[in-house]
Amino acid sequence: MTINNDTPMSLAHLEALTADQDALKAALAVADTAPLLMVLIQLGGDPAWLDRMAPYITGPWSYHDETPEDVKLELQSAVVDALVACVRDSRLPEPLPPKDLLPKMMDVCTGQKVPPEYMPVALEEMDLLDEDPRAVRWRTQPSAETLEHFNVLVVGAGFSGVAMGIRLKQAGIPYTIIEKNDSVGGTWYENTYPGIGVDTANHFYSYSFDVNHDWDHFFAKGDEILRYIRRNAEREEITANTRFREEVTQAQWDDAAGLWHVKTQTADGTVVDYTANVLVSAVGQLNRASMPAIDGLDDFKGPKFHTSNWDHSVSIEGKQVGMIGTGATGMQVGPAIAPVVGNLTIFQRSPHWAMWNPLYFKTVSENKKWVLKNIPYYSKWFRFQLFWSSSDGFHKMLQIDHDWPDKQRSLNAQNAEIRKQLEEYIAKEVNYDPELIRKSVPNYPPYGKRMLRDNHWYRMLTRDNVDLVDTQIDHIEENAVVMADGTRHEVDVLVLATGFKASKMLAPMDIRGRGDATIRGRWGDDDPRAYLGITAPEFPNMFFLYGPNTNLGHGGSAVFHSECQVGYIMQGIRELIESGSSVMEVREEPFWEYQEKVDHKHRNMVWSHPGVGSWYKNKNGRVTANSPWRLVDYRDMTASFDPSDYTFTKINSTDSKEASA
């Protein structure tokens, strides 16, 4: 059954869908119950279906569905009948279900209570409100001349930089992206280590404005994600506006002109100068490799490389491979290379917690892709389910209960319950091997470090050719890693899965703001701060994407957060242009109030737990990478730009300035 996938919401499409009702019913057999039920209600089906099905949908993931087969068949028939009725009555379903039904639909769809505060963000994520609800539209259209003389310089063409380019293009604002690599994609271009993939479900970990029905996996591998980013960049001509193989080295604010002067260096060393009204950093937090400070690392004679710079010319087949680091990256690399190498010795400084998801290795069948593409509103409700399942559900569990007795190992009753479940899971996966359990169960609370997605890591540990070493590394010799207890582990190849210099944000760029302010001067090596993670005083007309305190540690999707930030930045730029100003700068007061709120919130959250070290916090224990907010809070904070948080300044022709806000 093939249909024109580009026109899913027309009567012609519905007619084509229902031309062969038996085939349609058969096609619906692969549909998940909850989103299909929502389709039925949107098509005008009897709302009584919601109460009938609610007991069977026990959670937001498809594997929480306990609907009996005969009821599923009834539901599928009802959807076919509803589609036929639409065609018969020449009626297209309303994009927005009746307001009184919507909250109940959300509850039933997720098998949980969805508080009303989530309604706006849910409707945005589902793209149900109107076309492209996150687009920022002009209130007063600027003249072509105004726009012609304005330009934005974006640093980095990863997921965030491409989204920024797309929104700037939509608004007709000239922009240039500077990208040090020879492709868009950022993280997903640079990291090519074996096993690379995402551990947030892709039907949510993707742009809300480009819902992809064609994901081959529920949790895609790196190459598929890179193809998705490239597709967006090419379709929206972002690539044409990007200067590849050029790296920003310095940006200097010019207070008199209200402009940024930016220097880049091309691959052959040529220095290029740019001038921009607005500078947007989209370099992210996880871009500069952190090499471990271990004695003798340079003495190692065999091949050694960081995971973000995997050397594919080195054969690891049959080799003795050593891997230092067991974070999100190490956890993906290990199971991918263990079957190939001769022996894998894993050097673990501290274990991470990891959760299993039954969909992790599953591919999306062609039939399911067909349903996603062709059944009206199905993909939207599917995305909503994933949004809900991956967002704020765990946030409460990350808060410290000060009366909780077992503070070292858990934070509160819910956290302790998860701990118990995870401990049982680990024990089962390592075949109840007491030594592996001892090494693998963290002594800190779940979510203290990034919660990982188990990709058969624990099963891998039971392989004969894998050794997990959890004593401290003392030094490295030309062919061995030597532990503090004197044990030597000979290795041919050394893999450094040791993470990134997350706290030293924006390094190595030399960014000079107003007066003598520099980014390094203000942030030091590890104390980055920004209002909403996006703007900082003394750095006018500059915005950060995936900046300080915006990493998501409790759930959610980095793409969601990035879209919130892009939307906010677009509103800021709109304000700047529409107000006829040249300069905007966040005021000290809201900036510091925000820092206070962030730090206060963090003090009661798991990442500040004294027993845990992670890239989330700096050497003083201040959490600098993570957002303390629920997704709904951050969305609400960024959804409407408040000009009173900023000063706006006009620069007239004689170069004198006048404040306008």
Question: Interface residues with ligand NAP (CB under 6 A)?
Answer: 197-199, 286, 292-294, 324-330, 332, 349-350, 450, 473, 497-500, 613, 615
- If the CB atoms of residues 146 and 443 are measured against ligand NAP, the closer one turns out to be 443
- If the CB atoms of residues 328 and 623 are measured against ligand NAP, the closer one turns out to be 328
Cα 612 from chain centroid? 23
- If the CB atoms of residues 135 and 289 are measured against ligand NAP, the closer one turns out to be 289
Q: How far is the CB of 206 from ligand NAP (least distance, A)?
A: 13
Hey, which residues does 263 pair with through a beta bridge? 250, 273
197/217 Cα distance (integer angstroms): 10
- If the CB atoms of residues 378 and 458 are measured against ligand NAP, the closer one turns out to be 458
- If the CB atoms of residues 310 and 404 are measured against ligand NAP, the closer one turns out to be 310
Q: How far is the CB of 547 from ligand NAP (least distance, A)?
A: 15
- If the CB atoms of residues 257 and 441 are measured against ligand NAP, the closer one turns out to be 441
- If the CB atoms of residues 212 and 332 are measured against ligand NAP, the closer one turns out to be 332
**What is the DSSP-derived secondary structure letter of residue 155?**
E
211/204 Cα distance (integer angstroms): 8
- If the CB atoms of residues 450 and 602 are measured against ligand NAP, the closer one turns out to be 450
115/459 Cα distance (integer angstroms): 39
Q: How far is the CB of 106 from ligand NAP (least distance, A)?
A: 27
Q: Is the bond into 508 cis (omega within 30 degrees of 0)?
A: yes
Q: How far is the CB of 311 from ligand NAP (least distance, A)?
A: 17
Residue with tokens 């940006």: 251
Phi (first) and psi of residue 617, to 5 degrees:
-125, 165
Q: How far is the CB of 121 from ligand NAP (least distance, A)?
A: 22
Q: How far is the CB of 469 from ligand NAP (least distance, A)?
A: 10
Residue ranges of alpha helices (H) inside 277-377 are: 328-337, 366-374
Q: How far is the CB of 560 from ligand NAP (least distance, A)?
A: 14
Which helix (H) or strand (E) element contains residue 512? Answer: strand 510-512
367/536 Cα distance (integer angstroms): 49
Phi-psi region of 463 (alpha: psi -120 to 50; beta: other; left: phi over 0): beta
Phi-psi region of 140 (alpha: psi -120 to 50; beta: other; left: phi over 0): beta
Q: How far is the CB of 42 from ligand NAP (least distance, A)?
A: 32
Q: Is residue 335 within 8 Å of 196, Cβ to Cβ?
A: no
Phi-psi region of 555 (alpha: psi -120 to 50; beta: other; left: phi over 0): left
Q: How far is the CB of 212 from ligand NAP (least distance, A)?
A: 17
- If the CB atoms of residues 174 and 292 are measured against ligand NAP, the closer one turns out to be 292
Q: How far is the CB of 278 from ligand NAP (least distance, A)?
A: 28
544/529 Cα distance (integer angstroms): 11
574/582 Cα distance (integer angstroms): 12
SS (H, E, C) 113-146: CCCHHHHHHHHHHHCCCCCCCCCCCCCCCCCHHH
571, 619, 16: which is closest to 278 by C-alpha? 571
Q: Is the bond into 339 cis (omega within 30 degrees of 0)?
A: no
Q: How far is the CB of 13 from ligand NAP (least distance, A)?
A: 35
Q: Strands across the sheet with 246-254, in order?
A: 271-276, 259-266, 246-254, 510-512
Q: How far is the CB of 387 from ligand NAP (least distance, A)?
A: 17
- If the CB atoms of residues 239 and 307 are measured against ligand NAP, the closer one turns out to be 307
- If the CB atoms of residues 202 and 212 are measured against ligand NAP, the closer one turns out to be 202
- If the CB atoms of residues 13 and 304 are measured against ligand NAP, the closer one turns out to be 304
Question: How does strand 271-276 pair with strand 259-266?
Answer: antiparallel
CB contact set of 507 (below 8 Å; sequence gap of 6+): 288, 501, 520
Length of the chain: 661
Q: How far is the CB of 454 from ligand NAP (least distance, A)?
A: 12
Tokens found for residue 369: 């892709």
SS (H, E, C) 604-653: CEHHHCCCCCCCCECCCCCECCECCCCHHHHHHHHHCCCHHHEEEEEECC
- If the CB atoms of residues 444 and 531 are measured against ligand NAP, the closer one turns out to be 444
616/553 Cα distance (integer angstroms): 9
- If the CB atoms of residues 330 and 537 are measured against ligand NAP, the closer one turns out to be 330
Q: How far is the CB of 625 from ligand NAP (least distance, A)?
A: 9
Phi (first) and psi of residue 163, to 5 degrees:
-60, -40
Residue 17 CB neighbour total at 10 angstroms: 23
- If the CB atoms of residues 156 and 330 are measured against ligand NAP, the closer one turns out to be 330
Q: How far is the CB of 457 from ligand NAP (least distance, A)?
A: 12
409/426 Cα distance (integer angstroms): 16
510, 565, 581, 517: which is closest to 277 by C-alpha? 581
Q: How far is the CB of 549 from ligand NAP (least distance, A)?
A: 14
497/489 Cα distance (integer angstroms): 17
**What is the DSSP-derived secondary structure letter of residue 483?**
E
- If the CB atoms of residues 275 and 471 are measured against ligand NAP, the closer one turns out to be 471
Q: How far is the CB of 463 from ligand NAP (least distance, A)?
A: 20
- If the CB atoms of residues 174 and 621 are measured against ligand NAP, the closer one turns out to be 621
